[in-house]
Amino acid sequence: MASTDTGSGKVFCIGFQKTGTSSLRDALAQIGYRVCGVFGRDVPLDELRTTYVQRGLEIAKEYDAVEDMPWPLMFRELDEAFPGSKFILTMRETDRWYRSIANHFGDNPYHIQQLTYGDDAPAPVGHEARYREVYDAHNAAVRAYFADRPGDLLEFWLERQHGWAELGEFLGRDDVPVGRFVHTNSQTQRGKLVNRIRGRLIRMGVPLKSMDG
């Protein structure tokens, strides 16, 4: 698999889940970027914890852009490994973000959440304070890291009507569409994710609660 010619550098979406990452993924794909999403679903937590950075760096070589977890956790390493790249921090107000991720995952455990929020916080429901704390700390860390390089970071807020104009200007692309930005169907994405997680847990013999509310 080879990356396509979309200009200099790569594009790394380093916003957390449920901040518009799926919409950004589809928008980037629409203008020619080969995008990689989540990785590490089938890697045990103990192994993933010690290998996700190296795994991610190897995967990123083959794509023009990345989004979803656990990419945001390694934004510093991505910046060091791929100089000249652009970073997009998809954003959402913390209250709305937490409600969305809690509705999406419920109290069902997911090991990538443990990697992100801690071993004792495998699901958003029941761990609201931890999730909010980690989310806010990540966004603050990204802003601080790029404080002296504003041209390398775009804060992208779908709920503030950011869209093609902001994305095109940031990427130096004058060929982006005009009009309404991509809004990927979150319910469809949620259903696909639920089915993947449910199937994996069933194969592991884990008793399940409903993930459908």
Please give the structure tokens belonging to residue 130.
């931890």
Instruction: Name the one residue in this structure whose structure tokens are 């977890």.
Output: 69
What average pLDDT score do residues 146-171 get?
90
What average pLDDT score do residues 169-190 get?
76
Please check the confidence at residue 213 and state whether its pLDDT lies above 70. no
Helix (H, G, I), strand (E, B) or coil at 149: coil
- What are the structural domains, with CATH classification, of the chain? 11-204 (3.40.50.300)
If you ran DSSP here, which 8-state letter would residue 124 be given?
Answer: S
Q: Are 52 and 116 spatial neighbours (Cβ–Cβ below 8 Å)? A: no
What per-residue confidence (pLDDT) applies to 158? 79
Residue 183 — pLDDT band, cuts 50, 70, 90? confident
Q: What is the maximum alpha-carbon separation in the chain?
A: 51
Residue-wise over 8-36: b if at least 16 C-beta within 10 A, else e? ebbbbbbbbbbbbbbbbbebbeeeebbbb
Nearest to 7 by CA among 43, 42, 31, 41: 31
What average pLDDT score do residues 55-83 get?
97
Rounded to the nearest angstrom, the gap between the alpha carbon of residue 35 and the centroid of all alpha carbons in its chain is 11
Q: At what angle do helices 164-171 and 21-30 cross, to 10 degrees?
A: 60
What per-residue confidence (pLDDT) applies to 157? 85
- Give the model confidence (pLDDT) of 83-125 as tens digits: 999 999 999 999 999 999 999 999 999 999 999 999 999 999 9
